[in-house]
Homo-oligomer: A and B are copies of this chain.
Amino acid sequence: VFAYARPVRLEEVDAAGIVFFPRILAYCHDTVAELLASVVGGYPALVMERRIGLPTVHVEVDFTAPLRFGDTAEIELYLARIGHSSATFEMNLARARDSVAVARVRLICACTDLSTLRSTEWPSDVRQVLLAHLVMSA
């Protein structure tokens, strides 16, 4: 399991006083970016030099509690499945101050050649990093 903590910033809260829900998905994207930091050059080199991206093709979220400014999201990510050119991540977000569950997220990404926007096989170094977080379901 890969862990990442993300404090809520002033501008991520909306006029209802809680984190605007699409931003929770940006937190999830940040978590995947952090996970890929151990690939040589990190996520930026993957996108900018190797022109490989991980567009999301499917997402499912259950939101169970709000985050406010001053909260920190504690995110646990694991890899549920990896295919030829896709990966299914599961993430649980909790609120640091009281450990209340904030959201449960299932995200399917496609390894994509950004020049053509077609899916492509995972490069072996990226697959290696992902596999380290594969969790077999019961």
Contacts and interface: CB of A to CB of B under 8 A. Distances in A.
**Residue among A15, A56, A61, A66 with the highest chain B CB neighbour number at 10 A:** A15
A62 interface: yes
A29 interface: yes
Given A9-B33, A16-B10, A25-B25, A58 B63 contact: yes
Contacts of A62: 57-58
B60 A59 contact: yes
A14 B62 CA distance: 24
A42 to B, nearest CB: 8
Contacts of A61: 56, 58-60
Contacts of A4: none
A96 to B, nearest CB: 12
Interface of A: 8-11, 13-18, 20-23, 25-26, 29-30, 33, 43-45, 47-48, 53, 55-64, 66, 68-70, 114, 117
